[in-house]
Amino acid sequence: MSAPTRTELDRTRFFIDGGWVDPTGSESHQALDAATEEPLGTAALGTAADIDAAVGAARRALDEGPWGRTTADERAEVMIRFADALAARGEATSTLVTRENGMPIALSTAFNGAAPAGLLQMYAAMVQQTALEEVRQSQAGATLVRREPVGVVGAITPWNYPQTLAMMKIAPALAAGCTIVLKPSPETALDSYVFADAALEAGLPPGVLNIVLAGREAGSALVAHPGVDKIAFTGSTAAGRIIGAECGRQIKRATLELGGKSASIVLEDADLDVFVAGLAGASYMNNSQTCTTQARILAPRSRYEEVVEALAEHTRALRVGNPLDPTVEIGPMASQTHLERVLGYIDVARQDGARLVAGGGRPASEDRGWFVEPTVFADVANTDRIAREEVFGPVLTVTPYDGDDEAVRLANDSEYGLGGSVWTADEQRGVDIARRVRTGTIGVNYYQLDLGSPFGGMKASGIGRELGPEALSNYLEYKSIYASAAFLP
């Protein structure tokens, strides 16, 4: 094996206790540009010993350091400085993530350049407006009801929206007064340390935020560590089951945002121009490397071929290419391994007899990079493997239905429940159908994440909610102090 290529983007040390620390092991990850396969940089991979050091720093910052004694206003002040430091790096961070995982640059600018700072600002304001202690009259006198930080948080994040998904955990945790150990995914090995650079500039106290890039073994050590009070995880359902089991064994708090196989219900009165225009957010966002991807298109039998043709025509016209080009709509997959996974599912659909109407292979225009054509299969039964399992790439299926009840039944006939959409000329009818679908989020005539409202899944798509005030509650514990009536206002 050849030695890793070194670049100015290398990150060969971990961020622990407010400084840069050498790894205890020798493993590293070579990051490659998803569109060109050229080396981006090398990042060290952590061990259980590195995780232990990070947890120890987080515990000291909470129990002994100043962070555990800060007021909401003091934390908010630090968070605003943190937000400003991230915003100043937004353009460079957006470009780096696009090179790492293939995200189209316009989307990366929003989700990796702007959203993290916005989330910090939102939770800084929110915690200042939240009563962290209130006094209630009781039969014996008074009860002081307190909201206190849950403690040390282990945050485990994926590669598809690395900056936003990390900050969806970091921001409410900081607002609540928690300390954090962040374990990012090796597939986006380099951008996570932008948080460290910004935290240093903002004056975040040592140990409040610690970052150790690592693989599954060290991730398991973080979940199992007795010094961690809560795990916040975004990733696959398979990994979520293992994490949930360990957290249950330890009676450890957990928020799990997991996989999805969401459905778009096209009603017979839908405007198909609106539907295909909405696919960018509902089905093809981030090259469909999105947990909420609505990959199952449910079409009324009365308009079935019309829906299939509109979807196929739109998909064939999508521009595939280097995601740094702002006119490109579909970039590459995040890695060679992931590309092979997506192509494998395309082969499965073919073997199962689905009708290919768009895409189906590698684009002829791209001779380098991990590109796959956006693909549509028609005549897919809801029991087919391609309709049951999460592909996590631009592969959509079309299934016919008769009547609203069957559409809802098919949409709900999945182990997952994370996203979804309904397309109709009658918005009230669409909302009524949306209420019947067992999913954590669903849009009517569009799908767009709302940072101020709860996000998460039902069934095998997860436990708990992120975003909105509901997320702040996930990082707080309640304590009742029984006292005399002297404490009553």
11 phi and psi, to 5 degrees? -130, 90
Closest by CA to 199, choosing from 20, 49, 12, is 20
Distance of CA 7 to the CA centre of its chain: 28
Residue 211 identity (one-letter amino acid): I
Helix (H) or strand (E) segment spanning residue 264: strand 263-266
List helix spans (H) across 283-335. 304-317
For residue 453, what are its two tokens? 């409202």
**Maximum distance among all alpha carbons in the chain?**
78
- Are residues 352 and 384 in contact, defined by beta-carbon separation less than 8 angstroms? yes
Number of residues that this document lists for the chain: 489
Rounded Cα distance between 420 and 428, Å, is 16
**Mapping DSSP to helix (H, G, I), strand (E, B) and coil, where does residue 44 land?**
strand
Rounded Cα distance between 44 and 36, Å, is 22
Rounded Cα distance between 174 and 75, Å, is 7
Rounded Cα distance between 254 and 150, Å, is 11
Active site residue 257: yes
Orientation of helix 72-88 relative to helix 193-202, angle to 10°? 120
Choose, from 27, 148, 217, 257, the residue flagged as catalytic.
257
User: So which residues are the catalytic ones?
Assistant: 257
